[in-house]
């Protein structure tokens, strides 16, 4: 039996440090030796490993997380409702004051498309809690002015066409989930395929394609996502089998992802998810047998954000570099990987939603602190066989990669851009166990046969890390004036948009082999072309 612990998420992480200089710094007592030509291959990830979410609510418009500020502070002082509906467009059991209206996202914006394309190829997942209760009219049917009974929002054909055109422009493939709320069910509460079939038909008629889909977003929180009162694991199993059989007949080319759970871990840091009842993933997997998935999906948040402080303990910004915080990624993976091995053995692992904190992220998600978590998480997951990791979100709330007002890159966007340009899909064992001051991840160098890319994160605040490497290499060191800075430096120079809003040149510095120093609290990428080629090759 897998140990069950429930949690929500909240955190920000730290990454800072200047590019390597001649300054003498305290160093570790050992020199880490890496021989790129002898690295052992341990697996592969998708060429679209690093991906992102655009919430369905961003597409339709609606009430999303209220920004931090005086209005939110007042809302947090008010007692939250205990159970029951949070409102027509508010998840059940949640305090409506935590949300405010945001208009539909214009996915046709050239700057948005170009900045997303720079992160491609990728998957764009259009889902989230609100997707469970989103109504799509049939082709030829006008969109209703208000959602039909049993739904919380309406997705127009023009809005979904915008998603399809955005995905094509951004070199992204669409991942989604289907409506599963009360409006999709018959008089006995059994899920029907009508809306799902319509969604597939409309997508095809608009020239799009759904590459992969979960049936329900976060079934462990089914009640919060609009499922009928008293909905349990047996109901889920019955409904998933209906979905599975329909999908295999109707859209055989679409990968089935599932269950898409959130809220469980092997760690001791779990917190209750407010008043929402939890359905346990193991019970869901038992109930859906013998139906299967093409990839086992799950969500990870290491804590709840400050918005949801009433739901449980927080992780403070000053803990952003701690081993305890960073290994939470491993603890959530261990829980769901164990269930995958028992009930869906051999299926690939996909993390379809993650960020610094649930409930819209923490304020420090906008700063350089969170780049530490962001990149360390990608490295950990790849080394343990997670093929895809989808960040939440591209451009909404505090965990976004791009500012939602002017689309300027946040620190995590620059981190994502470097990962995408350097870290390929073949994963190596760097031969260095994770410990404070030495988080080392090795991949093939993207786009260069025989090359190796290393990511070295020194999360010690006091000691530099020494590495001994052969040959010449290119170095990319991210830093900032402080952990709370929103401006990022690359090799000591600010990363900023250039004339016309274009991305700047991402230029490395050359480094000779020998001893390389990674400053305290720093992130370093090393690119070594030809490092794995045989002599004379």
Buried b (16+ CB within 10 A) or exposed e, 386-417: bbbbbbbbbbbbbbbbbebeebebbbbbbbbb
Kindly report the average pLDDT of the chain as a whole number. Answer: 89
CA 13, 17, 19, 24 dihedral sign is: negative
CA-nearest of 404, 405, 402 to 415 is 402
Per-domain residue ranges of the chain:
27-44+428-528, 50-424
3-state secondary structure 140-175: CCCCCCCCCCCCCEECCHHHHHHHHHHHHHCCEEEE
What confidence tens digit (pLDDT) does each residue in 141-162 have?
999 999 999 999 999 999 999 9
Q: What is the pLDDT of residue 521?
A: 84
Q: What is the pLDDT of residue 15?
A: 29
Residues 441, 316, 353, 485, Cα dihedral to 10°? -70
CA-nearest of 26, 10, 29, 32 to 461 is 26
Indicate the pairing of strand 99-102 with strand 62-65. Answer: antiparallel
Determine contact, residues 182/226, Cβ cutoff 8 Å.
Answer: yes
What confidence tens digit (pLDDT) does each residue in 104-137 have?
999 999 999 999 999 999 999 999 999 999 999 9
CA-nearest of 388, 423, 210 to 299 is 388
Q: How far apart are CA 513 and CA 224, in angstroms?
A: 54
What confidence tens digit (pLDDT) does each residue in 54-109 have?
999 999 999 999 999 998 888 777 765 544 444 456 777 778 888 999 999 999 99
Q: CATH classification of 50-424 is 3.40.190.10, yes or no?
A: no
Q: How far apart are CA 244 and CA 222, in angstroms?
A: 18
* Fold matches, 27-44+428-528 and 50-424: no
| Cα atoms in the 13 Å half-sphere on the side-chain side of 388 | 27
Q: Which of 216-225, 303-312, 326-335, 528-537 has the lowest mean pLDDT?
A: 528-537
Report whether the peptide linkage leading into residue 426 is cis, meaning its omega lies within 30 degrees of zero. no
What confidence tens digit (pLDDT) does each residue in 2-52 have?
444 433 222 222 223 333 333 444 555 578 999 999 999 999 999 999 999
What confidence tens digit (pLDDT) does each residue in 158-204 have?
999 999 999 999 999 999 999 999 999 999 999 999 999 999 999 99
3-state secondary structure 340-358: HHHHCCCCCEEEEEECCCE
Q: At what angle do helices 194-205 and 157-169 cross, to 10 degrees?
A: 60
Q: What is the pLDDT of residue 534?
A: 54
H or E, element range at 390: strand 386-392
Q: At what angle do helices 369-383 and 328-343 cross, to 10 degrees?
A: 30
State which CATH number among 2.60.40.1180, 3.30.70.141, 3.90.1170.50, 1.10.260.40 fits the domain covering 27-44+428-528: 2.60.40.1180
H or E, element range at 522: strand 522-528
CA 155, 159, 165, 171 dihedral sign is: negative
């Amino acid at each position: 039996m897998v140990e069950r612990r429930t949690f929500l998420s909240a955190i920000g992480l730290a990454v800072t440090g200047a590019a390597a200089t001649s300054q003498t710094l305290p160093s570790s007592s050992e020199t880490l030796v890496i021989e790129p030509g002898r690295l052992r291959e341990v697996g592969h990830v998708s060429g679209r490993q690093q991906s992102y979410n655009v919430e369905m609510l961003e597409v339709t418009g609606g009430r999303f997380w209220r920004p931090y500020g005086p209005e939110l502070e007042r809302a947090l002082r008010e007692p939250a409702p205990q159970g029951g509906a949070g409102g027509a467009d508010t998840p059940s059991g949640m305090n409506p004051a935590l949300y405010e209206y945001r208009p539909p996202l214009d996915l046709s914006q050239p700057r948005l498309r170009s900045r997303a394309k720079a992160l491609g190829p990728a998957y764009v997942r259009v889902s989230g809690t609100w997707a469970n209760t989103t109504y799509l009219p049939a082709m030829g049917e006008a969109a209703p002015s208000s959602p039909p009974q049993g739904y919380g929002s309406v997705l127009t054909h023009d809005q979904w066409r915008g998603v399809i055109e955005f995905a094509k422009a951004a070199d992204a493939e669409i991942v989604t989930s289907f409506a599963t709320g009360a409006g999709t069910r018959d008089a006995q509460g059994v899920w029907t395929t009508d809306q799902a079939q319509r969604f597939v038909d409309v997508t095809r008629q608009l020239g799009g394609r759904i590459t992969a889909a979960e049936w329900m977003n976060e079934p462990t929180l089914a009640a919060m996502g609009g499922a009928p009162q008293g909905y349990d694991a047996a109901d889920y199993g019955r409904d998933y089998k209906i979905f599975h059989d329909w999908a295999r007949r109707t859209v055989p080319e679409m990968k089935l992802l599932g269950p898409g759970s959130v809220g469980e871990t092997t760690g001791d840091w779990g917190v209750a998810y407010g008043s929402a009842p939890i359905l346990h993933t193991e019970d869901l997997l038992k109930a859906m047998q013998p139906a299967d998935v093409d990839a086992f999906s799950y969500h990870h948040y290491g804590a709840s954000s400050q918005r949801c402080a009433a739901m449980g303990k927080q992780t403070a910004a000053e803990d952003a570099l701690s081993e305890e915080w960073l290994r939470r990624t491993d603890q959530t993976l261990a829980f769901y990987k164990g269930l995958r091995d028992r009930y869906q053995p051999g299926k690939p692992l996909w993390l379809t939603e993650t960020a610094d904190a649930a409930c819209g992220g923490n304020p420090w998600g906008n700063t350089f602190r969170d780049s530490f978590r962001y990149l360390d998480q990608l490295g950990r997951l790849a080394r343990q066989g997670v093929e895809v990791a989808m960040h939440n979100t591209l451009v909404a709330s505090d965990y976004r990669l791009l500012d939602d007002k002017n689309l300027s890159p946040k620190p995590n966007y620059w981190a994502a851009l470097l990962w995408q340009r350097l870290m390929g899909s073949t994963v190596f064992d760097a031969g260095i166990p994770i410990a404070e001051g030495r988080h080392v991840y090795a991949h093939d160098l993207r786009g260069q046969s025989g090359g190796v890319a290393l990511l070295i994160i020194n999360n010690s605040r006091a000691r530099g890390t020494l590495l001994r490497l052969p040959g010449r290499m290119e170095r990319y060191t991210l830093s900032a004036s402080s952990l709370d800075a929103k401006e990022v430096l690359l090799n000591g120079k600010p990363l900023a948009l250039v004339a016309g809003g274009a991305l700047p040149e991402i230029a490395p510095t050359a480094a000779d082999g020998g001893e390389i120093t990674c400053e305290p609290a720093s992130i370093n990428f090393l690119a070594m072309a030809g490092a794995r080629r045989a002599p004379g090759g």
